[in-house]
Amino acid sequence: MSATTQQQNTQIDSSYKVVKKLLSDGKTNLKIAKNSLETHVLFLAPANTIGTHNVCPFASAGCIKGCLNTAGHGKFTSVQEARINKTKFWAYNRKQFYIQLADELLKIHDKTIKKGQAIAIRLNGTSDIDHLDLLKRYTGINFLDDFYSDLIFYDYTKNINAIKKYKGTRYSLTFSLSETNFLQALSVLADGGNIAAVFAEDLPESYLGYKVINGDETDLRIFDPVNCIVGLKAKGDAKKDISGFVIRQK
């Protein structure tokens, strides 16, 4: 490949349009719409979709193949293009991305004050990034300060370091089990945390000696009992999984 061609590809890969809104209304997602709190979600193009940056650095092959990125509204080309565009914005203009994200969060916080009701925020709808840390780094705002206590942050993650970092804070993280992180998942459970696991069949009452709850009834993990397994039924491409990402007990 010539230097000219490489430069052209770089220009194409890094091009993006100005994003009017980063956070999506959770009502557009069938599961998140079940949440008892108004919820706003940041959806990016998962894993290495844009080819230059991986927004899911801890994802396993099974997780990537069974990703729900194309579920629901995600199946539409316009939605996929919007997520790719946001991801390029994040990749190539990091500071402006977080300035805009902070501005949207501040407006939502103002709304919580006016309504007197908490609002849930999921910053990793289809990614696994420490956005709260980057928000603080690029804007100086710590959204885990008590002043923003009406913003309820929660996510799923495969980043064991994030689990340890945010333990005991207002950022509720559920560790996601895959075919490659079994021992880490066990350590999270042993430490009193929760993990999410995908099952091929009906959810069992218990798994690995821990109670299994139905994680499909709501996406809002902050109300889950302590030290349990959040069971999720395999959906979409995950139904065909043979990597071990989806648990098959029969």
Residues 9-66: pLDDT tens digits?
Answer: 444 467 899 899 999 999 988 899 999 999 999 999 999 999 999 999 999 888 888 7
pLDDT of residue 1: 38
CA 218 and chain centroid, separation: 15
CB 229, CB 246: distance < 8 Å: no
Report the chain's mean pLDDT, rounded to a whole number: 90
CA distance 115 to 185: 38
Q: Residue 3: pLDDT band by 50, 70, 90 thresholds?
A: very low
Is it the case that residue 70 has pLDDT exceeding 70? no
pTM for this model (two decimals): 0.90
CA distance 172 to 222: 6
Q: In terms of Cα–Cα distance, which of 201, 204, 210, 191 is closest to 246?
A: 201
CA distance 124 to 155: 6
Question: What does the pLDDT look like over 142-195, one tens digit per residue?
Answer: 999 999 999 999 999 999 999 999 999 999 999 999 999 999 999 999 999 999
CA distance 191 to 227: 8
CA distances from 144 to 87, 97, 211 (A): 24, 19, 30
Average pLDDT over residues 206-229: 97
Comparison of pLDDT for 239 and 132, the residue scoring more = 132
CB 152, CB 222: distance < 8 Å: yes
One-letter identity of residue 203: L
